[in-house]
């Protein structure tokens, strides 16, 4: 437990960003360097890296509620670091996407622009407010609302994205959708557990 606390949030986030950058570099190297195919691979691989970080951060509270103690409590205490790691990795993914579009001239769909753009707005807002000062300034209720809505929006965007890959890449989409579905069930079960004492008192 102590060793998990000893690693600073900055170190965890920096490590995630560096790993994401290395994954992007691997994508380029796999397709001969600075090419459209390499940029596309960098975008795909960094998205796959950031996705489980999002699920871990999104599920941490539910896991700790349903099964307190052990590694679940460690995850909950380090949820801010995990969430910021997701944001850092996902912005590396955004950089790779921008290279695909702005440098190599790929034309994204309108749904990708607006849906993905909205997702990044939430990622940025949640990252910028992942600190004690923002909780005090916004107020706990407003802060929680922002992060709840943001988490649901990002989960929905990932769901739509992987649903669109079911036919072409079932080996990727099915495990990802299963993981997302499991996270939704965990959050629903945790919500019901929290509601149960209130219902008993009513």
Predicted structure pTM score: 0.90
For residue 185, tell me if it sits in a domain: yes
Average pLDDT over residues 104-125: 90
Per-residue pLDDT at 5: 59
Per-residue pLDDT at 198: 62
Q: Per-residue pLDDT tens for 14-32?
A: 999 999 999 999 999 999 9
Per-residue pLDDT at 155: 97
Domain of residue 9 covers 2-193
User: In the block, which residue shows the tokens 């190297």?
Assistant: 29
Per-residue pLDDT at 69: 86
For residue 199, tell me if it sits in a domain: no
3-class SS shares of the chain: helix, strand, coil, % to 5: 85, 0, 15
Per-residue pLDDT at 1: 46
CATH number, residue 167: 1.20.120
Percent of the chain exceeding pLDDT 90 equals 80
The chain-wide mean pLDDT, for the chain, equals 92
Q: Per-residue pLDDT tens for 179-193?
A: 999 999 999 999 999
Residue-wise burial string across 9-21, b where 16 or more C-beta atoms lie within 10 A, e elsewhere: beebbeebbebbb
Q: How far apart are CA 189 and CA 5, in angstroms?
A: 28
Q: How many domains does the chain have?
A: 1
């Amino acid at each position: 437990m102590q060793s998990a606390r000893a690693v600073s949030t900055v170190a965890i986030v920096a490590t995630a960003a560096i790993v994401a950058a290395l994954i992007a570099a691997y994508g380029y190297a796999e397709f001969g360097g600075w090419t459209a195919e390499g940029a596309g691979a960098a975008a795909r691989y960094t998205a796959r890296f950031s996705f489980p970080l999002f699920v871990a951060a999104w599920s941490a509270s539910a896991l700790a509620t349903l099964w307190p103690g052990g590694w679940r409590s460690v995850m909950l205490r380090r949820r801010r670091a995990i969430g910021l790691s997701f944001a850092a990795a996902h912005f590396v993914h955004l950089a790779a996407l921008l290279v695909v579009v702005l440098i190599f001239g790929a034309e994204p769909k309108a749904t990708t622009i607006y849906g993905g753009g909205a997702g990044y707005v939430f990622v940025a807002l949640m990252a910028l407010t992942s600190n004690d000062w923002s909780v005090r300034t916004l107020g706990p209720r407003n802060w929680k609302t922002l992060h709840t809505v943001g988490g649901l929006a990002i989960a929905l965007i990932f769901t739509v994205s992987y649903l669109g890959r079911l036919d072409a890449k079932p080996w990727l989409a099915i495990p990802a959708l299963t993981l997302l579905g499991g996270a939704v069930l965990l959050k629903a079960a945790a919500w019901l557990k929290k509601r149960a004492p209130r219902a008993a008192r009513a």
